[in-house]
Amino acid sequence: MAPQSWYLIVSALLFGLGIVGFVTRRNSLVMFMSVELMLNAANLVFVAAARDHVPARGSACALFVIAVAASEVAVGLALVLALFRLKKSVDSDAVRELRA
């Protein structure tokens, strides 16, 4: 069996790549994809940590995360659509109405 720490390291790398993508990219679609990367990393930790205890509970928690991710994507993409209608752009820097 692969040690649990290996899974945690892969998960940390995935999460770090998600952070890098979320902060560096200005395309809001790619920013959402980076959030999905981070949520996947969290799921991996749930399942890996539960393997040596009660595996079914880890899977159940990961299922909840998947459901939250699905609703987040649905609302987020609707927001992107509304933004595109307003600005003709999905660049997150295009929205500066609240900037003083």
Partner 1 sequence: MLSERTAFLIFSVIALIGAVNVITRRHPVHAALWLVGTFLGVAGLFLTLGAGLLGAIQVMVYAGAIMVLFLFVILLLNLDAPPDEGLSFARGASLLAAVATLALIALPLARAPELRAAATPESPVADASAGQVANVLFTRYALPFEVVSLLLLIAMVGAIHLARRPRRDETV
Among residues 3, 95, 98, 100, which is the contact residue for partner 1, using CB under 8 A?
Answer: 3
Q: Is 92 in the site for partner 1 (CB under 8 A)?
A: no
4 binds partner 1 (CB under 8 A): yes
Distance CA 97, CA 100 (A): 8
The residue from 48, 94, 99, 100 that contacts partner 1 (CB under 8 A) is 48
Residues 5-44 close enough to bind partner 1 by CB under 8 A? 5-27, 29-30, 32-34, 36-37, 40, 43-44
Q: Footprint of partner 1 on residues 58-87 (CB under 8 A)?
A: 58-64, 66-75, 77-82, 84-85
Q: Dihedral through CA 93, CA 94, CA 95, CA 100, nearest 10?
A: 70
Q: From 95, 68, 90, 58, select the one nearest 77 (Cα to Cα).
A: 90
